[in-house]
Amino acid sequence: MRHMPEGDTVWLAAQRMNQALTGQELTRGELRVPQLATLDLTGQTVSEVISRGKHMLFRFADDHTLRSHFRMDGSWRIHASGQPWRGGPAFAVRAVLSTQRWDCVGYRLHDLAYVPTANEGSLVGHLGPDVLGPEWDLEQAVARLSRDGDAEIGVALLDQRNLAGIGTLYRTEGLFLAGIRPQRRVADLEAGVLSALVDRIRRLMIGNRDHPEQSTTGSTRRGETHWIFERDPRPCRRCGTRIKRGEQGPPPNQRVTYWCPTCQP
């Protein structure tokens, strides 16, 4: 089953794009979306590529920034110059950023935007502390989570305005490991419990960010990488209770969630 990429996936993709592009002059720079189709980035020098939550930011030496977002289905592929592109059909290509050595091809990208770097805040300023960012602030993340005490914790963790980068996988597995049912109200969890939960999720993401595999159990064996995520209706790997699956969040933004009725009372 596909699910929306998590912050660690975007972080790793940004690292790879940063290695391929930073300091390089673009020999080709096309954006194949109507609102940016006339923008030609050829000749621009890339100064860095970073992730901010689940957004990717390409900063250019002329103080402009290109933002892309994967949402459910996007990807950036890096091909050696002259080699065939393998990320999907040509009609799915949304961006081509080439150097003498590499063709970086963006497939099914969303939310492409190009702004002066000084105005990046208009694109990502609403985000809470970035779980994998250099300026991570646990206290602020917990404070933001606590603002909406009536929210269910499983919903609040996915709200990128509270903290940026968590998706359904780490939300689900983090709550399992902390023994907290996703439907519990934020206000019913003490600050220390919230803080430990967020810190645990961040450690899971850091443990996985350098490679594409996402294990929350320490095992990389097929079928053993997660505790409960996408494992219903099988028994909980810890206690044997049948794993439950449900939806959380206001329509139309319901997201699937999983829990163990015994381990998460």
Q: Which residues are catalytic?
A: 5-6, 54, 255
Site membership for Zn ion, residue 260 (CB under 5 A) = yes
- Nearest distance from C-beta of residue 200 to Zn ion, angstroms: 17
DSSP-derived 3-state class of residue 177: helix
Read off the amino acid at residue 17. Answer: M
We find the least distance from the C-beta atom of residue 231 to Zn ion, in angstroms, to be 11
Instruction: Give me the helices (H) in 98-150, please.
Output: 121-124, 138-146
Is residue 236 a contact residue for Zn ion (CB under 5 A)?
A: yes
Region near Zn ion per CB under 5 A, out of 7-15, 88-96, 186-194, 252-260: 252-260
Tell me if 262 contacts Zn ion by CB under 5 A: yes
| Position 234 contacts Zn ion (CB under 5 A) | no
Phi, psi torsion values for 116, nearest 5 degrees: -55, 140
235 binds Zn ion, rule: CB under 5 A: no
> Does 263 interact with Zn ion (rule: CB under 5 A)?
yes
Q: Is 239 a binder of Zn ion (CB under 5 A)?
A: yes
Q: Which two tokens stand for residue 10?
A: 């975007």
Q: What is the 3-state secondary structure (H, E, C) of 199-249?
A: HHHHHHHHHHCCCCCCCCCCCCCCCCCCCCCCCCCCECCCCCCECEEEEEC
What number of chain residues touch Zn ion (CB under 5 A)?
7
- Using CB under 5 A, list all residues that contact Zn ion: 236, 238-239, 241, 260, 262-263
